[in-house]
Structure formats: C-alpha cells, structure tokens
Chain A
Amino acid sequence: LKQLAEDQSGHKQGSNLAFLALAILVSVCSVAAAAQAPTAAPPQAPPPPAPPRPIILLDAAHGGDDSGALLAGNQPEKSFTLALSVRLRSLLAARGFQVVTTRESDLALDPTRRAEIANHAAPLACLSLHASESGSGVHLFASSVAPALPARIPAWKTAQAAYVTRSLAFAGVLNSALEHADLPVTLGRTALPVVDSMTCPALAIEIAPDRTPKAKVPTALDDPAYQSRVAEALAAAVLEWKTEPRQP
C-alpha cells in the first residue's frame, strides 16, 4: 500500500510539472503572437480644418439690356468686364483666394442686387470692373461718401462710409502694383451707387486704352497682352492687400 501511495504521489507531481510546462508554452506563444499581430491604431483627433480662404468679390459691371459703353471694335463694355472678371477669377483662385462674382453670364443686375451679393459674402475686398474709351490707363475710384464710424445699422446708400478709409488704402496698394507693372494710373473719388452701398474695402476699376506719350501707339482695350498685364497687376495687388498689416 505504501508503495502504491508513493507511486501515485510521484505520478501526480509529474502531471503538475507537465501542466506547468504547457502553461508556460502557451503563454510564450500568445506573447509571441501578440507581438507579431498588427497593433490597432489608437484613436486620433480629426485634422484641424483648413483656414478659410480670403474672399474677393468681383463685380463685372453692366449686363443684359445694359450694355454700358461702346468700346473699340464695337465691343460692349458688359462683355469686356465679364471677360476680365473671368480672367481675374482664375488668377486670384491660383493665389489662394475664394472668388465670389456678381454675374457669370450676360445677366442684368441692378446696383442694389450687386451690393447685396457683396455684403453677404463679407469679402476682403470688392472690385467693380468697368471699361471706357475715355481717358488713359487704369482709373481707380473710391466712393465719394464722407468717412464715418461703423454704425450698427448703416444707411444703405452710404454704407461704404465706414470702409472709405480702408478703400483708399486699398487704392494705394493697387496704384503701386499697377505702376510697378508700368501701367498709367489715375486716382479719384466718384458717386457710384453699387460701390456706395458695399460694406467692404471697395473700388471701381475702369480700364481705358493706354494713351500715354510713352506708348507711341495707343494700346487698345482689345489687346490681349494689355488685358493680361492689367489682370496680373490687379491680382498681385490683391495678394499684397491680403498681407497688409492693417487687415483684421
């Protein structure tokens, strides 16, 4: 009996050792498997949204029944301004701007609607594009309304009053850029209903043929190279305006 008890005790001890070895083996395998398994990606925060692109409003003047001035080659002003708006939109988009236009086709819009589009967009700058056979070079016009402090509810016809000072600063930036591009520039103030109602730094830009004595042959408005120079200079000026330290 004693011999039998010793045999059973030795057998039980052997079983325990085998079970322990098996457990160690299983643990090692599971650790190895866990090391080889792909680690699950920890939850990450969503990427920060891209900063909003600054908005520029382009207003191609006239349209529809309102043809505007008759330019060289019997081209109506409304077609010239629309073509310039499309060209400028591409240049500005390439420079990182979001461009809002008042019209993309031969559409009649009254000044009130144009100003509404501009004011809803809250743009960095507004450019009302015009063309004329009178004068020479590029004419920059700011509103002639008297500067005033911002009002909570500004009067519609003089809403530009709170922005005139910045509009004049914007005119200075455009003037520098156009002169840098060797384009003749004149600055002035005018009473233009669409600009007077805009709540943004706003300018009316009128393109005329280059009739300066330096240009021995007057450069016509339908000259593609002239149009390209003007558009490039305007786009460069708007880019410079974005980095203007006085910008909010």
Chain B
Amino acid sequence: MEDGAPPAVIARHQAVLLIVLVLASAIMGGLLWRQLDRAHQHRLIGQDSTPTQAPEVAPAEPATLLVANDLENSLIAETQTLPLPQDSQARARLILGKLLDLYASPDALHPVPGGASSVAQVFLMPLSGPRLEKPEARSVASRLPNAHPAPPRHAQPEPSPTTVAGPQLAVVNLTAAFAAGHPSGIETETLTILSLCGTLHANLPRVAEVRFLVDGQPRATLAGHADLTRTYLAADAVPTEGAHP
C-alpha cells in the first residue's frame, strides 16, 4: 500500500443500504413500541372485564331490591325486571349494581355516588362446619326454608360454591372509590349495608351471612361509622312490613 493514499470509504450502494436498514430499524422499533403500548392498555381494560350489564340473551326476570330511604330511615322493597345471568355470583353482582345505580341517580332518596361499578366482585361460599356452631349462624340457618346441615367434608368431593344447597356466605368486594365517596353518618352507612344484605337475601335466599371487603382488604368502617369488620346476618336486614331496620 502506498503512503498518502486516500482513506478507504464504503461504496455508495452500501451507504444507501445502511441508511435504509437504520430507517427500517427505527420504524420497526416505533411499531413495536406502539404494539406494546396497545397490549398494555388492552390488559388494563381486561382487568375489569366482568360485565356489569347482563348479556342481552339472558331472560328478563324480576329482582327484588330493598331501596333505602334516608328521610324515613327505612328499606322499601321494589321489584325491577332485569336480564339476569344464571351464575349466582354474576347475578348477585348485577343485582347489587342495579341497586347502587338507583342510589347514584340524581333523585335518589338515599344518595350515594358510585353506581354499579362500585361492586367489584361478589363471592358466594358455603357456610359449613364450625361456622354453623356459632349461635347466630345457627339461628339464621334454622330460619332458611331449605336449610340443612352441611355434609361432612370427607364424605363427598368439594361442591362448587355456587351449586351447594346449604346456607351461603356472601363476600361483597366494594371499590375504594365507593367507600371514599360514601356520605359519612350512622344512618346512611347503616342503610347502605342493610340494603345490600337484604337485597342479596331477597334474591338469593341461601345467602345467610354477608361480609364486606374494600378493594380486597378488610376495612374498619364504611365511611367512619358502620362496622365493616363484622359478619352481617342477611335475614336480619330484611324488614318486616312497615318496620325500620
């Protein structure tokens, strides 16, 4: 090689190819980023994908809602016709959602913001074994028309929570936004809890006890007053004619 020769350069077609490759890489990177973002958004939406509206194919059925009235401190039974799914848990969530939709309406007699989306999940599970030993649970179970002792666990395989015939415990998981927006007061909080319990019991008579969670966690009170740590007896929330809760 001779001294003073010009430095080696790549050929023009190679430079063009390099630029095209860099551009292609940038475009592909952008597309990939966009796809990832879209997948992330889709996943976020999918976290709350449980339908709050009943499918249109479900037949319309009457549902009893125990609607609270702040001025009279009372619960009034109201029948609404709703398309209800067959699954008990989805049905319970839908009915409670409808009840909270009434409370979120502008002319509600028990105004509570939030609406149907405030009920995140409703879990139904059998009340069995030691729980029935509690006097309060036993008294409720004896009042149920189809109540009978739960079979021993070792005698038969574990039944599905929604198909078990005995009394059930309903766990209602409310959203933190609902608890944060709920008006504070003994009467209003008590009426909300009793109307949720009573509505569950009126439509799913095997629901004997109800517990509440907020965003999946136990919480001391709903909005500073009513105790959310205790187990509520669903039948006690159903008022007799003209009675206050």
Residue ranges of A at the interface with B (Cβ–Cβ < 8 Å): 62, 66, 68-70, 77, 130, 132-136, 139, 141, 144, 146, 157, 186-193, 196, 204, 206, 208, 211
By the criterion CB–CB under 8 Å, are A135 and B71 in contact?
Answer: yes
Sorted nearest first, the 4 A-B pairs with minimum C-beta distance are A132-B185, A69-B184, A186-B73, A134-B188
By the criterion CB–CB under 8 Å, are B227 and A132 in contact?
Answer: no
Q: B186-205 toward A: CB 8 Å interface, digit per residue (1/0)?
A: 11101001000000000000
Given A187-B244, A192-B227, residue A139 in contact with residue B186 (CB < 8 A): yes
Point out the residue from A77, A132, A186, A193 that lies within 8 Å of B244, measured CB to CB: A186
By the criterion CB–CB under 8 Å, are A188 and B185 in contact?
Answer: no
| Residues on the A chain within 8 Å of B188, using CB | 132, 134-135
Q: Determine how close the nearest CB of chain A comes to the CB of B160; give it in whole angstroms.
A: 31
A-B contact pairs, 24 of them (CB 8 A): A62-B224, A69-B224, A70-B184, A132-B184, A132-B185, A133-B183, A133-B185, A134-B183, A135-B73, A135-B185, A135-B188, A139-B186, A141-B186, A141-B187, A144-B236, A186-B72, A188-B187, A188-B244, A190-B186, A190-B225, A191-B190, A191-B193, A191-B227, A192-B225
By the criterion CB–CB under 8 Å, are A190 and B190 in contact?
Answer: yes
| Closest A residue by C-beta to B73 | A186
Main secondary structure of the interface of B (DSSP, over half): loop
Given A186-B72, A196-B227, residue A135 in contact with residue B184 (CB < 8 A): no
Q: Determine how close the nearest CB of chain A comes to the CB of B209; give it in whole angstroms.
A: 13
A207 to B113, CA, bound (A): 22
Q: B59-72 toward A: CB 8 Å interface, digit per residue (1/0)?
A: 00000000000111
Q: Determine how close the nearest CB of chain B comes to the CB of A222; give it in whole angstroms.
A: 16
| Residues on the B chain within 8 Å of A206, using CB | 185-187
A30 to B96, CA, bound (A): 104
A133 to B225, CA, bound (A): 14
| Residues on the A chain within 8 Å of B185, using CB | 69, 130, 132-135, 206, 208
A133 to B184, CA, bound (A): 8
By the criterion CB–CB under 8 Å, are A132 and B187 in contact?
Answer: yes
By the criterion CB–CB under 8 Å, are A191 and B226 in contact?
Answer: yes
Within 8 A of A (CB), among B71-121: 71-73
> Does any Cβ of A come within 8 Å of B37's Cβ?
no
| Closest A residue by C-beta to B135 | A146
| Closest B residue by C-beta to A146 | B136
Point out the residue from B136, B187, B193, B221 that lies within 8 Å of A134, measured CB to CB: B187
Q: Determine how close the nearest CB of chain B comes to the CB of A136; give it in whole angstroms.
A: 5
The winner among B71, B186, B187, B193 for most chain A CB atoms within 10 A is: B186
> Does any Cβ of A come within 8 Å of B230's Cβ?
yes
| Closest B residue by C-beta to A189 | B245
| Residues on the B chain within 8 Å of A157, using CB | 230
By the criterion CB–CB under 8 Å, are A141 and B190 in contact?
Answer: yes
By the criterion CB–CB under 8 Å, are B224 and A66 in contact?
Answer: yes
